[in-house]
């Protein structure tokens, strides 16, 4: 059941109808109910949408139920006339109806169970069709004659001459539904043993047979034990395989069996596993000789040290190879590499050498530029002398933007410099003190005190 499709279909229909209905509702409210009165339209629109949502839910559910009734009547006619082709078309349309979103969640569950119950016998008789097998699986899940559905699918599975992926899936579902029924596990294990299969899906059924210590345990041990020992597996299949092999007195034949049993038992204890397998394995391991266990632990420590040394050596070799590769690439594209490096250096130089912006603080301007009359001013600060008129004007505007009382003295006589001066001060000490403040605040780079002169136009 696709809940997203159910809800989105109702939401879409209500939103499509909302503009027309909301316009009519608002027009009625403004013209007839509350004429010449201002009120917020949002609550009316929201209420209209909620009503439309309920209406869309009711209308779509009703449409879906009517559609189901027509298909159900048509299917009953085909069932009475034994028209398999017509029933297949009805079942296809029913599947579209159940997944289309017309039916509500409650209707979907109710009508699907009703369909499964009405056509259960047809599913049994036509179990060779995949659609009928899927329907019987739904009967098992929904509790519609689940025992009969389970036995029907089980008998179908046992009659198949060869395994396919769909049959393996069916066998796993049936075993999960009735885990106490060992016949399915034994049937699948026997089929896998005939083909000498050792993959993980075969191991699932092998595990179930080993857990119950069935008749096929010896064959499974003969087929899989050597491979499992070679890989040092510690999963559930490996645990039961070790236990049954030890119980079949195969420890002398497989030298690594007892050591792998001990490692697996330690792993289960480390992961806090507490089930029948962990208890059975722990009980067997508890009877092992302590000196033998100490030797295994010493071998394991040596192996881990060698393993870490090998990993470190491989890592160093990998880094060395990558370094050689990138050096070769660098030499190959030396021209481009040098250009990129030069560009990076140039960007950093521009960043570090670029003049810092001067903070514009109102408080600094008020401190540096005391308000006095021109008749009382005797000194000023000269902060720059530039030959270029444009550079002088730029520096003058910068100081003005910082809130300072700046002025430009144009060249006179033999002088060709534009002099930039700041402030009006009564005493020389005042000028020197304010100049130090300016320099500490990075508003100017250097200065000296001169006699005050008016700005020249």
Residue 19, class by beta-carbon neighbours within 10 Å (0-12 exposed, 13-18 middle, 19+ buried)? Answer: exposed
pLDDT given at position 368: 47
CATH number of the domain at 431, please. 3.30.70.1070
Decide which of 293, 317, 343 is a domain's last residue. Answer: 293
Number of independent structural domains in the chain: 2
Measured CA to CA, the distance from residue 130 to residue 424 in angstroms comes to 101
Does 199 reside within a domain? yes
pLDDT given at position 361: 40
- Token representation of residue 333: 């594209």
Predicted TM-score (pTM) above 0.85 = no
Quick one: 200 and 282 in the same domain? Answer: yes
Which strands form 406-409's sheet, in the order they lie side by side?
406-409, 418-425, 379-386, 448-451
- Contact between 286 and 306 under an 8 Å Cβ cutoff? The reply is no
Quick one: 286 and 186 in the same domain? Answer: yes
Does 388 reside within a domain? yes
- Token representation of residue 28: 């009625």
Does 116 reside within a domain? no
- Contact between 204 and 172 under an 8 Å Cβ cutoff? The reply is yes
Decide which of 274, 293, 312 is a domain's last residue. Answer: 293
Domain that holds residue 392: 362-451
Does 271 reside within a domain? yes
Q: Hey, CA dihedral for 21, 23, 27, 33, is it positive or negative? A: positive
Residue 30, class by beta-carbon neighbours within 10 Å (0-12 exposed, 13-18 middle, 19+ buried)? Answer: middle
pLDDT given at position 220: 93
Does 192 reside within a domain? yes
pLDDT given at position 19: 92
Does 403 reside within a domain? yes
Measured CA to CA, the distance from residue 164 to residue 157 in angstroms comes to 11
- The one-digit pLDDT tens for each residue of the chain (457 residues) are 578 888 899 999 999 999 999 999 988 888 888 777 777 888 889 999 999 999 999 999 999 999 999 999 999 888 888 888 888 899 889 989 988 888 988 899 899 999 999 999 999 989 998 989 999 999 999 999 999 999 999 999 999 988 899 999 999 999 999 998 889 999 999 999 999 998 999 999 999 999 988 889 999 999 999 999 999 899 999 999 999 999 998 888 888 899 899 989 988 988 888 899 999 999 999 988 888 888 888 887 777 666 666 677 677 778 878 888 887 777 777 777 777 877 777 776 766 655 444 444 444 444 444 545 556 677 888 888 888 888 888 888 888 888 888 888 888 777 788 888 888 888 888 888 888 888 888 888 888 888 876 544 3
Does 273 reside within a domain? yes
- Contact between 236 and 207 under an 8 Å Cβ cutoff? The reply is yes
Does 214 reside within a domain? yes
pLDDT given at position 210: 92
pLDDT given at position 366: 44
Decide which of 293, 312, 345 is a domain's last residue. Answer: 293
């Amino acid at each position: 059941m696709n809940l997203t499709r159910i809800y989105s279909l109702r939401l879409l229909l209500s939103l499509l109808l909302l503009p027309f209905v909301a316009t009519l509702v608002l027009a009625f409210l403004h013209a007839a109910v509350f004429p010449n009165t201002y009120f917020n339209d949002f609550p009316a629109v929201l209420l209209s949408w909620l009503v439309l949502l309920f209406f869309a839910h009711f209308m779509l559910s009703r449409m879906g139920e009517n559609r189901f009734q027509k298909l159900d009547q048509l299917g009953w006619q085909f069932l009475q006339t034994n028209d398999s082709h017509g029933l297949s078309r009805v079942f296809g349309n029913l599947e579209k109806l159940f997944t289309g979103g017309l039916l509500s969640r409650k209707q979907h569950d109710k009508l699907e169970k009703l369909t499964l119950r009405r056509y259960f016998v047809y599913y049994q008789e036509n179990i060779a069709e995949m659609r009928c097998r899927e329907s019987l699986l739904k009967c098992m899940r929904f509790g519609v004659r689940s025992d009969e559905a389970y036995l029907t699918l089980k008998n179908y599975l046992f009659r198949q001459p060869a395994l396919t992926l769909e049959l393996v899936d069916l066998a796993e579902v049936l075993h999960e539904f009735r885990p106490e029924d060992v016949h399915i596990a034994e049937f699948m294990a026997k089929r896998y043993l005939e083909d000498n299969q050792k993959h993980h899906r075969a191991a699932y059924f092998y595990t179930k047979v080993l857990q119950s210590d069935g008749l096929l345990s010896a064959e499974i041990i003969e087929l899989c034990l050597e491979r499992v020992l070679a890989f040092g597996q510690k999963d559930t299949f490996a645990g039961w395989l070790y236990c049954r092999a030890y119980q079949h007195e195969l420890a002398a034949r497989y030298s690594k069996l007892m050591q792998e049993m001990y490692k697996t038992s330690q792993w289960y204890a480390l992961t806090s596993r507490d089930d029948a397998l962990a208890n059975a394995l722990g009980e067997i391991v508890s009877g092992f000789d302590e000196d033998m266990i100490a030797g295994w632990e010493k071998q394991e420590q040596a192996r881990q040290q060698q393993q870490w040394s090998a990993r470190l050596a491989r890592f160093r070799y990998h880094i060395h190879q990558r370094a050689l590769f990138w050096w070769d690439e660098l030499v190959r594209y030396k021209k481009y590499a040098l250009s990129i490096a030069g560009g990076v250096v140039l960007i950093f130089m521009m960043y570090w050498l670029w003049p810092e912006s001067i903070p514009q603080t109102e408080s600094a301007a008020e401190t540096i530029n005391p308000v006095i009359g021109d008749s009382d001013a005797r000194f000023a600060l000269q902060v720059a002398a530039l030959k270029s008129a444009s550079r002088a004007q730029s520096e003058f505007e910068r100081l003005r933007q910082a809130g300072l009382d700046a002025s430009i003295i144009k060249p006179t006589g033999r002088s060709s410099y534009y002099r930039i001066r700041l402030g009006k001060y009564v005493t020389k000490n005042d000028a020197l003190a304010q100049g130090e403040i300016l320099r500490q605040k990075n508003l100017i780079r250097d200065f000296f005190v001169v006699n005050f002169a008016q700005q020249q136009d």
